[in-house]
Chains A and B, each alone.
Chain A
């Protein structure tokens, strides 16, 4: 018996070395951790249980039969994050560059299947160059199997991808179908085809960082939802993220004990809106002062900064926040902002995370660049997403809610549950100046007359009361009581039951 136990230990030790000490050192010298080190940081201490430690590939082409390593380039298993079950796979760059073989794919799909069946989140740590060329079509088939499971699990369990090395091909498509992608700055890249292929095909010279670095994907392409300085920072933030996320679409949101009182008032909010309607203010201040403990985890922080999206808690329970940011482009809705927020809203709706929407929106961004870019359909995505969402929806209008953008931002008309307005709110078709100039076109030539017309329009419509008189706003509230109102509202809506008509699926304008 002792011998076999020793043999197990020997095999385990061997497997844990992955591609060997030299490759581990090489990985470290690039500032990257190994797959097992990453899992250690991600999971609770001693909670990770590895599966398929001894799996090897079965390829006999190109001398591959002599190049076998237990585990075959991916570490899979499960463990806990603050006691909650999470499945994980981590590509092992030290073994054949983490490339995907048929066996490697099987390990992944086994874990994906378990995660879906047992309704727990799955996190993928990517550091891999794509298919193992030697295996040819078997590798492609393997990817297909992984993709299928990504799609089947979508909307049932949270799927998170962390890009921690150079990734291409299938190793970027699978993440693309998960809920969130995070990257590590300077050590991770994502592209469908790398710089060499780009050079060959288009004669364009570009570095990996310029083509698919963290900066590109978090600020330009919006492929990634966030980026971190290094592996450690990224993995600890994934622990933070998981504390916000439900385990599955039926579990409900997790609750973290807090001593932050739901009745906490913040008088400084009563002076947050500047006197001048064209002066910006920082919507993040409102978010930080309203949510529990000023803890707000922003998603897509560096993309379409005119809208803010992210997770926070009210009375310990997760909420999704969507807010126009007047600091950037006056908080206008453009194609990027609409797409960003629409995807976030749909994630929250999938997983029964209540939505809190703070509105200060002057409208949709005009211009050829926007129209040619398909603003109509991108804007419609957000309208569609808010409308179809059946989770609890609470909206607070702080200042402008103009035109169609008013409807879009989780208004009462698209099934908002509680719609509040601050006394500073202006719910109108457009700003007073624009409106007066259209209604009283004849007076435009006379500055005194038009000024009087603008004042007249302002007095009539630049306030929350016209909307409140019609019941489009449930209540005009004092800014300092915003937290209390939202907390009470969320408790009141705890048993909200709303179902959309049966359909195979809807046809959101993609």
Chain B
């Protein structure tokens, strides 16, 4: 076995690999760029080597620097993680030349699966079910129409070298092929410098299901069940689960065996994933093979009990797989959320900066459900603009899908992040979505269920009662405490009425709170002053704790607590609600307070910090799209590009380059 390995990656995957290496007694070497000097993976590794400036192209992507770092530290093998150099054929070749082992598949396997057309040919040759389509080169639109009609509509026309939706068109009839083919072809040329196209059957309501494989250098390949990754946003996976709610045992076996056949055909000898597109009728077709460890590998680990990184290291060292196919049993269900630094309420714009607070849920097994959080960040760390803005992968595992989802929702509630925007409200909203819970999903889920983007939900029903009663208890605790302040007048102690009106959003709920210490009872009071249900609340929350953990009617609840003027901002189940707890008299008088229309700031571009205007990028009357740069403001010697948040037309520009602006000064007004 290796004594020391180097991880040619950063972030959570580097930390993930280091954890397993440490468990195996292998020393680890991290590499880092300027932006990652204080990163968690550097902290965790036994040694760390600086490999250049922040941009990946000048550090993590330079093969020579990795090899140099290996030589410098005596690392015998390199784990590439995912992304960066993980699927570059040249990397294992160069490592081999330098006498260093690549913890991944052999370069031939990478090469064979790297090209979309070549990999399909290989798959077809290995009798893997492939999407009906034409693999040869297509000369022009006439040829394209002929092929499309042979396959049958709808069809998809796709660039061979493509990715990310560029050079891709779907056609439901002849006209759409004639029109779309040349456009897609020229897009392919422009985007990839390669205008080779192929055409294949388009599957309606498709699902993304993939098979995890592991092979060794002795010709053994075993599949470790499937993962479903149908919940995607713009081809980016958001939620993953294992197993898939779609598959039955027969389909699983068929997919698994075909994947193994393909892997064997190309001499595959590490962890890899065969991706399929599946119809709702459980038909499945080969999509591509990823010759690396996938981001979502933890869900497979949770249901199979294997450590994929350990296996990768062992097979790279020449060991045989420790199990046969018949040893693999799937146990329970696992769900993974990708927690990203992005603002779900602003079209998922990336949000970078300092993690002022980062308190993930506690890992481990509790009441039959386990929580695992793979992360590469820490409180006080920085989410940098240079790399993928993923904060963590939150995985829960339980005996059934329903329980794994419930555990995931609970874990998301207990995840506290401050300083940057994050997508937990969105993840939590999906976790509560009936269609997701039913398992009747497809890759179009997000587009279909959130056609106008993601909007905040208001608290309703049970969620509203939970939030209101917890707020009332927090207020009650504070009232008890405030009345213990020193320097009070002697004589009768101050008492306070126990009836409270909780204002949550636009709703008002009347209730009475009793109890002290950690145990409270909240009794709802109806409009006619009739006493309603009593909710029991137990919690050891203390003021200042960022998360309220406790039991509401004996059910575990976690709520994020932030203070606001005279009230609280509570977040729970993806809902964020301002809550105020009033006495009866305060509530009566609060009703007299004027309702001030919130100034509509969407029509203005405000200066986010005091600074100097360096450039105004638009003129009056200009039409702008969300994301367009509007102005550059320099503050503290740093240039900040201010971008349009929504589409609009510029009505008035109030500033010019050279102006010194205060915070919230209006720079541009929109029509």
Using A33-B589, A44-B496 as known contacts, say yes or no to A256 and B379 having CB atoms under 8 A apart: no
* Nearest CB of A to B592, in Å: 5
Answer yes or no: B623 CB below 8 A from chain A CBs.
no
Answer yes or no: A360 CB below 8 A from chain B CBs.
no
Residue in B380, B565, B596, B610 with the greatest tally of chain A CB atoms within 10 Å: B380
Complex Cα gap A40–B544 (Å): 29
Answer yes or no: A477 CB below 8 A from chain B CBs.
no
Give the residues from 293 to 338 in chain A that come closer than 8 angstroms, CB to CB, to chain B.
Answer: 293-295, 305, 326-330
Answer yes or no: A371 CB below 8 A from chain B CBs.
no
The answer to whether A330 touches B636 (Cβ under 8 A) is yes
Complex Cα gap A255–B488 (Å): 11
Answer yes or no: B366 CB below 8 A from chain A CBs.
no
The answer to whether A268 touches B486 (Cβ under 8 A) is no
What are the interface flags for B483-516 relative to A under an 8 Å C-beta threshold, 1 for contact and 0 otherwise? 1111111000111110000000000000000000
Q: List the one stretch of A82-90, A382-390, A429-437 in contact with chain B.
A: A82-90
The answer to whether A268 touches B380 (Cβ under 8 A) is yes
The answer to whether A254 touches B485 (Cβ under 8 A) is yes
What are the interface flags for A263-287 relative to B under an 8 Å C-beta threshold, 1 for contact and 0 otherwise? 0000111111001001111000100
* Nearest CB of B to A268, in Å: 3
The answer to whether A267 touches B380 (Cβ under 8 A) is yes
Complex Cα gap A269–B593 (Å): 41
The answer to whether B596 touches A84 (Cβ under 8 A) is no
Answer yes or no: A37 CB below 8 A from chain B CBs.
yes
Complex Cα gap A267–B544 (Å): 17
The answer to whether A33 touches B592 (Cβ under 8 A) is yes
Q: List the one stretch of A107-115, A156-164, A225-233, A350-358 in contact with chain B.
A: A225-233
Answer yes or no: A476 CB below 8 A from chain B CBs.
no
In the complex, chain A residues whose CB is within 8 Å of the CB of B593: 31, 229-233
Complex Cα gap A176–B632 (Å): 41
Task: Tell me which of B358, B482, B494, B594 contacts A47 (CB under 8 A).
Answer: B494
Answer yes or no: A260 CB below 8 A from chain B CBs.
yes
The answer to whether B497 touches A267 (Cβ under 8 A) is no
Answer yes or no: A236 CB below 8 A from chain B CBs.
yes
Complex Cα gap A231–B38 (Å): 48
Give the residues from 41 to 99 in chain A that come closer than 8 angstroms, CB to CB, to chain B.
Answer: 41, 44-45, 47, 80, 82-85
Answer yes or no: B585 CB below 8 A from chain A CBs.
yes
* Nearest CB of B to A232, in Å: 5
In the complex, chain A residues whose CB is within 8 Å of the CB of B638: 279
Interface extent on B, as a size class? 35 or more
Give the residues from 562 to 590 in chain B that come closer than 8 angstroms, CB to CB, to chain A.
Answer: 563, 565-566, 583, 585-586, 589-590
Task: Tell me which of B38, B494, B543 contacts A44 (CB under 8 A).
Answer: B494
Complex Cα gap A281–B635 (Å): 12
* Nearest CB of A to B282, in Å: 49
Using A31-B593, A83-B493, A330-B636 as known contacts, say yes or no to A256 and B485 having CB atoms under 8 A apart: yes
Complex Cα gap A258–B358 (Å): 23
Answer yes or no: A257 CB below 8 A from chain B CBs.
yes
* Nearest CB of A to B610, in Å: 6
* Nearest CB of A to B89, in Å: 37
Using A243-B482, A270-B380 as known contacts, say yes or no to A83 and B585 having CB atoms under 8 A apart: no
The answer to whether B543 touches A251 (Cβ under 8 A) is no
In the complex, chain A residues whose CB is within 8 Å of the CB of B481: 256-257
Give the residues from 234 to 262 in chain A that come closer than 8 angstroms, CB to CB, to chain B.
Answer: 236-237, 240, 243, 246-247, 251-252, 254-260
In the complex, chain B residues whose CB is within 8 Å of the CB of A292: 544
The answer to whether A267 touches B592 (Cβ under 8 A) is no
Residue of A nearest to B635 (CB): A280
Complex Cα gap A40–B592 (Å): 14
Complex Cα gap A80–B483 (Å): 11
Task: Tell me which of B379, B484, B565, B589 contacts A267 (CB under 8 A).
Answer: B379
The answer to whether A31 touches B592 (Cβ under 8 A) is yes
Complex Cα gap A279–B637 (Å): 8
Task: Tell me which of B357, B380, B566, B609 contacts A236 (CB under 8 A).
Answer: B566
In the complex, chain B residues whose CB is within 8 Å of the CB of A349: none
The answer to whether B489 touches A40 (Cβ under 8 A) is no
The answer to whether B544 touches A268 (Cβ under 8 A) is no
Complex Cα gap A280–B608 (Å): 14
Complex Cα gap A295–B545 (Å): 12
The answer to whether B496 touches A45 (Cβ under 8 A) is yes
The answer to whether A237 touches B566 (Cβ under 8 A) is yes
Using A41-B589, A229-B596, A294-B563 as known contacts, say yes or no to A85 and B489 having CB atoms under 8 A apart: yes
What are the interface flags for B348-381 relative to A under an 8 Å C-beta threshold, 1 for contact and 0 otherwise? 0000001111100000000000000000001111
Residue in B378, B483, B485, B493 with the greatest tally of chain A CB atoms within 10 Å: B485
Task: Tell me which of B381, B483, B497, B592 contacts A83 (CB under 8 A).
Answer: B483
Task: Tell me which of A84, A228, A232, A272 contacts B488 (CB under 8 A).
Answer: A84
Answer yes or no: A28 CB below 8 A from chain B CBs.
yes
The answer to whether B494 touches A254 (Cβ under 8 A) is no
Answer yes or no: A426 CB below 8 A from chain B CBs.
no
The answer to whether A82 touches B482 (Cβ under 8 A) is yes
Answer yes or no: B90 CB below 8 A from chain A CBs.
no
The answer to whether B544 touches A256 (Cβ under 8 A) is no
Give the residues from 206 to 234 in chain A that come closer than 8 angstroms, CB to CB, to chain B.
Answer: 228-233
* Nearest CB of B to A39, in Å: 11
Using A230-B593, A232-B593, A259-B542 as known contacts, say yes or no to A280 and B482 having CB atoms under 8 A apart: no
The answer to whether A232 touches B586 (Cβ under 8 A) is yes
The answer to whether A82 touches B494 (Cβ under 8 A) is yes
The answer to whether A328 touches B610 (Cβ under 8 A) is yes
Residue of B nearest to A47 (CB): B494
In the complex, chain A residues whose CB is within 8 Å of the CB of B486: 254-256
Answer yes or no: A186 CB below 8 A from chain B CBs.
yes
Using A237-B565, A237-B566, A295-B563 as known contacts, say yes or no to A255 and B485 having CB atoms under 8 A apart: yes
* Nearest CB of B to A164, in Å: 12
The answer to whether B356 touches A285 (Cβ under 8 A) is yes
The answer to whether B636 touches A28 (Cβ under 8 A) is no
The answer to whether B488 touches A233 (Cβ under 8 A) is no
Complex Cα gap A291–B269 (Å): 56
* Nearest CB of A to B96, in Å: 38
* Nearest CB of A to B205, in Å: 45
The answer to whether A243 touches B485 (Cβ under 8 A) is yes
In the complex, chain B residues whose CB is within 8 Å of the CB of A246: 487
Residue of B nearest to A27 (CB): B592
In the complex, chain A residues whose CB is within 8 Å of the CB of B590: 232
Complex Cα gap A230–B594 (Å): 8
The answer to whether A269 touches B380 (Cβ under 8 A) is yes
* Nearest CB of A to B324, in Å: 46
The answer to whether B565 touches A233 (Cβ under 8 A) is yes
What are the interface flags for B630-656 relative to A under an 8 Å C-beta threshold, 1 for contact and 0 otherwise? 000001111000000000000000000
Residue of A nearest to B492 (CB): A83
A-B residue pairs in contact (CB < 8 Å), sample of 5: A84-B487, A271-B380, A279-B636, A279-B638, A329-B610
Residues of B within 8 A of A (CB): 37-38, 354-358, 378-382, 481-489, 493-497, 542-544, 563, 565-566, 583, 585-586, 589-590, 592-594, 596, 609-610, 635-638, 663
Q: Which are the 6 A-B pairs with shortest beta-carbon distances?
A: A268-B380, A293-B544, A83-B488, A31-B594, A271-B380, A268-B379
